[in-house]
């Protein structure tokens, strides 16, 4: 049996692994790095770093159970049939893909191996096509979708990891080091190493930490970037180092006031997958067609300033610097930073989506695309376009003591709280006492919040008038 691993890099609660072991005595785990088929959506820099270390961890876990991890590089549709021919595998067990290119590649593999390919749900709580409206169509609004999911009851209990995996003699395998997944900038890699431990064991430790006070206080603290109030399980979920069912059952067992809100976050991930399944062009094209005519600006210097956390808006800059340093950004700040890009700067959401894809260790095509379209007002269940987040008010509300901004924008650390989120409004003597010189030690805003808001509303009015 061939176990084709993609986004389920784990041994616990892996239905594809369980099925392979149930139907065959020998199981050979394989991972194929296909960078051609995804095109622009091949793993970004942060994702490649995570993948290298996740595969290293997975290979060690497999070796401890007596099995190798065979690595191959090339198109899925070529390498999987080739591995079957080399090994004589009677069947291939794989996880259900969500990405449009991976679904197409899976269809091509099925054509080559019509009776041997068996696909299992490995990364979601529900089959993406299984949740339907009463009319039989897909959902376009999150709340009724989440109710339909909850009506199905708890997911099945997670499967245990096998104690031993019998494997046949392996064919030739690539060396992971030869794939050159690791970044060449050691300073950036150092920031990722300090923040994360990729692999199944790292995921289990992260979950155990979250099940204490963070889960109990999740409903009240998840929007506060200055405190450790979120699970930070997203990269482990994105790479399948832990299953959503494992997380769901563990959270249910732990209980607490934050359980409902946290479960909704897991269901939002399911909703994003549901949307991508039914709208495969979602990563590139707005779900609301009128937004294709949005009069976006062309501002490369502004885009670069946003990417590097030099917009002059402290909460936005803190988020973008956290992203660059750690490969992750707090969810509330993701919304603020994204809104600033597409509304105040009036730059296409696809540019922000691409930057997040390259720099997020938790880059997930469905969640990334659905979230950017939601913020931009052009997706399913989207916030109205005219609901424009004021980054100053958002900073004052969710980072009231400035802990988050001071951590990632240290040049503003000495400003008093009342001026921290809008340093351009601070008196000259306050700026001088804090060692801040606008335009020198810290940039002036690329656009004033009020002016950016009005520019966005004017642009939106142009496409609504045209409609």
**Is 390 a catalytic site residue?**
no
Q: What is the 3-state secondary structure (H, E, C) of 342-375?
A: HHHCCCCHHHHHHHHHHHCCCCCHHHHHHHHHHH
Return d(Cα 34, Cα 74) in angstroms, integer: 5
Return d(Cα 139, Cα 88) in angstroms, integer: 42
Question: 197 labelled as ligand-binding?
Answer: no
Catalytic residue among 188, 248, 268, 355: 268
Q: For residue 177, how far is the Cα from the chain centroid?
A: 25
Question: 382 labelled as ligand-binding?
Answer: no
| Residue of 367, 372, 425 lying closest to 124 (CA atoms) | 367
**Is 349 a catalytic site residue?**
yes
Question: 218 labelled as ligand-binding?
Answer: yes
Return d(Cα 181, Cα 54) in angstroms, integer: 11
Please answer whether residues 23 and 166 qualify as being in contact, where contact means their C-beta atoms are separated by less than 8 angstroms: no
Catalytic residue among 41, 50, 277, 349: 349
Q: For residue 224, how far is the Cα from the chain centroid?
A: 19
CA-to-CA separations, 96 to 33, 83, 124, 314, in angstroms, rounded: 17, 19, 9, 41
Element (H, E) at 275: helix 259-278
- Count the neighbouring beta carbons within 10 Å of the beta carbon of residue 213: 14
Return d(Cα 193, Cα 122) in angstroms, integer: 27
Please answer whether residues 346 and 298 qualify as being in contact, where contact means their C-beta atoms are separated by less than 8 angstroms: no
Question: 401 labelled as ligand-binding?
Answer: no
**Is 268 a catalytic site residue?**
yes
Question: 173 labelled as ligand-binding?
Answer: no
**Alpha-carbon torsion (282, 288, 292, 296), positive or negative:** negative
Q: Strand pairing of 117-120 and 92-95?
A: parallel
Question: 9 labelled as ligand-binding?
Answer: no
Question: 291 labelled as ligand-binding?
Answer: no
**Alpha-carbon dihedral 323, 326, 330, 331, rounded to 10 degrees:** 70
Radius of gyration over every alpha carbon of the chain, rounded to an integer in angstroms: 23
Question: 320 labelled as ligand-binding?
Answer: no
Return d(Cα 27, Cα 1) in angstroms, integer: 5
Query: Helix (H, G, I), strand (E, B), or coil: what is residue 442?
Result: strand
- DSSP for residue 167: -
User: What's the order of all strands across the beta sheet hosting 28-33?
Assistant: 70-73, 28-33, 2-5, 92-95, 117-120
**Is 331 a catalytic site residue?**
yes
Catalytic residue among 86, 166, 265, 411: 265
- DSSP string across 81-141: HHHHHHHT-S-EEEEPP-SHHHHHHHHHHHHHSTTTEEEE--S-SS-TTT---TTSS---S
User: What residues are designated binding site?
Assistant: 218, 230-234, 262, 362-364
Positions marked catalytic: 265, 268, 296, 331, 349, 372
Binding site listing for FAD: 218, 230-234, 262, 362-364
């Amino acid at each position: 049996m061939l176990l084709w691993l993609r986004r389920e890099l784990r041994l616990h609660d892996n239905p594809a692994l369980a099925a392979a072991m149930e139907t065959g005595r020998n199981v050979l785990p394989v991972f194929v790095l296909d960078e051609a088929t995804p095109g622009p959506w091949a793993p970004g820099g942060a994702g490649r770093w995570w993948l290298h270390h996740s595969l290293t961890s997975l290979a060690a876990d497999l070796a401890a159970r007596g099995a190798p991890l065979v690595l191959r590089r090339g198109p899925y549709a070529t390498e999987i049939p080739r591995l079957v021919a080399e090994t004589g595998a009677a069947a291939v067990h794989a996880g259900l893909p969500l990405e449009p290119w991976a679904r197409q590649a899976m269809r091509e593999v099925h054509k080559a191996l019509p009776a041997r390919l068996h696909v299992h749900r490995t990364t979601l709580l529900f089959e993406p096509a299984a949740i339907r409206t009463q009319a039989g169509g897909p959902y376009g609004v999150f709340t009724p979708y989440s109710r339909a999911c909850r009506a199905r009851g708890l997911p099945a209990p997670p499967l245990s990891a096998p104690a031993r995996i019998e494997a046949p003699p392996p064919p030739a395998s690539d060396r992971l080091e030869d794939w050159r997944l690791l970044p060449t900038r050691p300073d950036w890699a150092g920031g990722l190493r300090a923040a994360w431990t990729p692999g199944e064991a790292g995921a289990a430790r992260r979950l155990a930490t979250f099940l204490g006070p963070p889960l109990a206080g999740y409903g009240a603290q998840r929007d506060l970037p200055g405190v450790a109030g979120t699970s930070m399980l997203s990269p482990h979920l994105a790479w399948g180092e832990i299953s959503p069912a494992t997380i769901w059952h563990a959270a249910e067992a732990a209980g607490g006031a934050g359980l409902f809100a946290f479960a909704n976050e897991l269901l939002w991930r399911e909703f994003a997958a549901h949307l991508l399944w039914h709208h495969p062009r979602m990563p590139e094209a707005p779900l609301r067609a009128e937004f294709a005519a949005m009069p976006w600006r062309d501002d490369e210097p502004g885009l670069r300033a946003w990417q590097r956390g030099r917009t002059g808006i402290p909460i936005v800059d803190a988020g973008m610097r956290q992203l660059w340093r750690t490969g992750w950004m707090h969810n509330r700040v993701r919304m603020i930073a994204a809104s600033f890009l597409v509304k105040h700067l009036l730059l296409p959401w696809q540019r922000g989506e691409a930057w997040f894809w390259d720099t997020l260790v938790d880059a997930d095509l469905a969640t990334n695309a659905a979230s950017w379209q939601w913020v931009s007002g052009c997706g399913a269940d989207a916030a109205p376009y005219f609901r424009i987040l004021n980054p100053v008010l958002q900073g004052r509300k969710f980072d009231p003591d400035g802990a988050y901004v001071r951590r990632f924008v240290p040049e503003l650390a000495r400003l008093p709280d009342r001026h921290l989120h809008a340093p351009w409004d601070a008196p000259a003597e306050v700026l001088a006492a804090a060692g801040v010189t606008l335009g020198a030690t810290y940039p002036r805003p690329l656009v004033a919040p009020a002016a950016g808001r009005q520019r966005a509303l004017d642009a939106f009015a142009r496409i609504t008038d045209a409609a």
